[in-house]
């Protein structure tokens, strides 16, 4: 259905001559940007490749971006607070919330319609609070939009400062008591449920609220003074886990077990592979959409694949059908799916129709019109440590298993494709780490797709804000993205370090989704 809406928007954009429909589209900024860069067709159009003329008008010459920014200057904030409170209901609401100060001689039975001309004002405290919200928004969202490492944000600087973090410690201690002790707190934090932020620590009468304002201003805590009763909460569910990691050693008894630490460092993640494998599928689909397509060793190329994030049940190597071959035939046609279960060697699967197989080189034989390709991908992202290497026996074992299982699936699928149809397997080994001497040869010999994946390339394909060079090892933030996020070239160079990029992948797909829908929409 989403595709049909996109098609409708496309038709609206492509009407020729006199326009009968004018559209304004808005939504999450990150998603809107992703629409331009993550959709292969659009990204190609944005680069103005002439062979995609049909889509070429979907670039920014037609889609005029209208950028709205939060109010941050004190004078703007004050004026907006008074102006927007025009009208009796708004005046009442604003005064009840402590955002508006009535002028002398204000008659509640005969309120003036215009707050500004009637002399209403906004208290300095209320203005500071709104400013803090706005500045927090400005400070946070670029991080969210670009996937910057969350560990560099002010919360962590404040958390690490043993001289200063007493207020955060107080919040953490109150929260830990409320959940029933450290053990329960670890379980709660590892779950990273949004309800973690439902806990509110009420302030005492003698507390200085301005201190909490300042912390909110920095994006360290969430301060809620609704109905003039101040309370403090975590800004993000992961903050609770970070507090445990920081304070446990310092203030509590004992240390966390390794399992507890991992569950707090990577809350909600079953494994890094769950993310990396999906990125590889996106990368392969991306390549297939680029001019030339995804090149095979035999000189052919695969074009026009798309990637799906949901799991697909596949047939088992033992000949028993786990997932229905008919279902696989329907779902995986020209579409890369994440496989489930992954015990048969493959992480991703697609059935490529003959019309999506072309000649990558002139010397290649013409494609057989009855030959389908079963594309399987195996992802090996062994560790973040760059020195970790995959050895040759392991590479051979994985690829042998993959090939054997692919042959079984091909046998099951061929009869379903009609008389004379054939299915041939093609394999990809995508790896983040290097292969030990000897292993390279093994993987090259057994992989039937020419370009074995490179981690940087995967990230670039997955991250809508990044561009890549021809070598796929150099990446940078697009100038457009920098404009949006207020970054600069120096930042971009720093951020393109591979160790950062690995975190980009994690944060873009996990934190982004969580944060985008988080605090600032409430």
Partner 1 sequence: MRSALEGRPVWRLPDTASMWHQWGCGYGLAAFSDSCVEVSMRRHATAALWQVFLLEGAAGAPSLIATHADTAPTFVDAARREALVGLAPRLVDLDSGVLEGQRNCFVLLGMRGVGKSHFLKSLVHVVARAALPTTCVIVVNFKNAGVVSLFAAIRAALRDAGETPPADADGLDALHVYLKAAERRVFLVVDEVEQLYV
State the residues that interact with partner 1 by CB under 8 A.
Answer: 1-2, 4-9, 11-13, 15, 17-35, 57, 61-71, 76, 79-80, 82-87, 90, 113-114, 116-117, 137-138, 141, 145, 484, 513, 516, 520-521
Query: Minimal distance in Å, beta carbon 101 to partner 1?
Result: 17
CA–CA dist 190, 269 (Å, integer): 9
Query: Minimal distance in Å, beta carbon 42 to partner 1?
Result: 12
Query: Minimal distance in Å, beta carbon 113 to partner 1?
Result: 7
DSSP 328-355: HHHHSBTEEEEEES-TTS-SEEEEE-GG
234, 215 in Cβ contact below 8 A?
Answer: no
Nearest alpha-carbon partner for 140 in 521, 522, 520: 520
Burial of 301 (0-12, 13-18, 19+ CB in 10 A): buried
Query: Minimal distance in Å, beta carbon 142 to partner 1?
Result: 8
CA–CA dist 334, 304 (Å, integer): 7
Q: Closest CB to partner 1 among 437 and 486?
A: 486
Query: Minimal distance in Å, beta carbon 304 to partner 1?
Result: 20
Q: Closest CB to partner 1 among 86 and 231?
A: 86
Query: Minimal distance in Å, beta carbon 144 to partner 1?
Result: 8
Q: Closest CB to partner 1 among 18 and 51?
A: 18
Q: Closest CB to partner 1 among 79 and 389?
A: 79
Partners of 467 in beta bridges: 476
Q: Closest CB to partner 1 among 437 and 479?
A: 479
* Coil, helix or strand at residue 120: coil
Query: Minimal distance in Å, beta carbon 110 to partner 1?
Result: 17
214, 128 in Cβ contact below 8 A?
Answer: no
367, 374 in Cβ contact below 8 A?
Answer: no
Please, what is the end-to-end C-alpha distance for the chain in angstroms?
28
Secondary structure in 3-state letters for 184-239: HHHHHHHHCCHHHHHCCEECCCCCCHHHHHHHHHHCCEEEECHHHCCEEEECCHHH
CA distances from 58 to 34, 200, 382, 462 (A): 14, 46, 39, 20
29: phi then psi, degrees, rounded to nearest 5: -60, -40
Q: Closest CB to partner 1 among 38 and 203?
A: 38
For the record, the structure tokens of 160 come out as 């690490």
Nearest alpha-carbon partner for 248 in 264, 269, 266: 264
Query: Minimal distance in Å, beta carbon 17 to partner 1?
Result: 7
Q: Closest CB to partner 1 among 17 and 254?
A: 17
Q: Closest CB to partner 1 among 447 and 512?
A: 512
């Amino acid at each position: 259905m989403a595709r049909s809406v996109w098609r409708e928007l496309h038709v609206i954009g492509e009407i020729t001559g006199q326009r009968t429909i004018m559209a304004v589209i808005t939504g999450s900024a990150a998603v809107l940007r992703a629409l331009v860069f993550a959709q292969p067709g659009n990204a190609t159009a944005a680069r103005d490749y002439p062979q995609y003329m049909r889509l070429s008008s979907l670039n920014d010459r037609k889609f005029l971006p209208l950028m709205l920014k939060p109010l941050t200057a004190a004078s703007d904030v004050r004026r907006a607070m008074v102006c927007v409170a025009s009208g009796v209901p708004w005046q009442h609401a604003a005064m009840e919330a402590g955002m508006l100060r009535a002028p002398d001689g204000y008659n509640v039975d005969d309120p003036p319609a215009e707050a500004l001309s009637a002399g209403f004002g906004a208290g300095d405290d209320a203005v500071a609070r709104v400013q803090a919200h706005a500045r927090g928004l400005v400070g946070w969202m670029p991080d969210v939009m670009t996937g910057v490492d969350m560990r560099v944000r002010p919360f962590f600087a404040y958390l690490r400062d043993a001289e200063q973090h007493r207020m955060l410690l107080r919040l953490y201690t109150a929260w830990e008591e409320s959940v029933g002790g450290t053990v329960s707190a670890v379980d709660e934090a590892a779950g990273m449920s949004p309800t973690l932020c439902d806990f509110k620590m009420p302030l005492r009468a003698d507390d200085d609220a301005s201190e909490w304002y300042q912390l909110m201003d920095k994006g360290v805590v969430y301060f809620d003074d609704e109905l003039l009763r101040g309370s403090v909460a975590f800004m993000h569910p992961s903050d609770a886990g970070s507090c445990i990691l920081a304070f446990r050693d310092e203030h509590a008894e004992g240390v966390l077990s390794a399992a507890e630490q991992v569950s707090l460092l990577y809350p909600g993640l079953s494994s890094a592979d769950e993310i990396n494998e999906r990125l590889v599928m996106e990368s392969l689909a991306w390549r297939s959409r680029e001019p030339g397509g995804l090149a095979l060793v035999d000189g052919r190329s695969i074009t026009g694949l798309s990637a799906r994030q949901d799991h697909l049940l596949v047939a088992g190597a033992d000949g028993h059908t786990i997932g229905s071959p008919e279902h696989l035939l329907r779902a995986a046609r020209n579409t890369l799916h994440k496989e489930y279960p992954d015990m048969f060697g493959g992480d991703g699967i697609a059935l490529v129709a003959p019309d999506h197989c072309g000649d990558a080189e002139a010397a290649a034989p013409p494609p057989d019109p009855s030959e389908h390709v079963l594309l399987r991908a195996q992802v090996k992202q062994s560790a973040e440590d760059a020195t970790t290497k995959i050895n040759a026996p392991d590479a051979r074992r994985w690829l042998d298993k993959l090939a054997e299982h692919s042959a079984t699936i091909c046998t099951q699928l061929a009869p379903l494709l009609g008389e004379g149809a054939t299915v041939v397997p093609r394999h990809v080994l995508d790896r983040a780490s290097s292969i030990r001497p000897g292993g390279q040869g093994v993987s090259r010999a057994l992989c039937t797709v020419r370009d074995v994946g490179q981690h940087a390339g995967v990230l670039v394909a997955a991250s809508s804000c990044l561009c890549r060079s021809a070598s796929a090892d150099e990446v940078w933030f697009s100038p457009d993205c920098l404009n949006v996020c207020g970054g600069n070239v120096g930042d971009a160079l720093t951020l393109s370090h591979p160790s950062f990029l690995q975190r980009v992948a994690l944060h873009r797909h996990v934190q982004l989704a969580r944060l985008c829908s988080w605090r600032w929409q409430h």
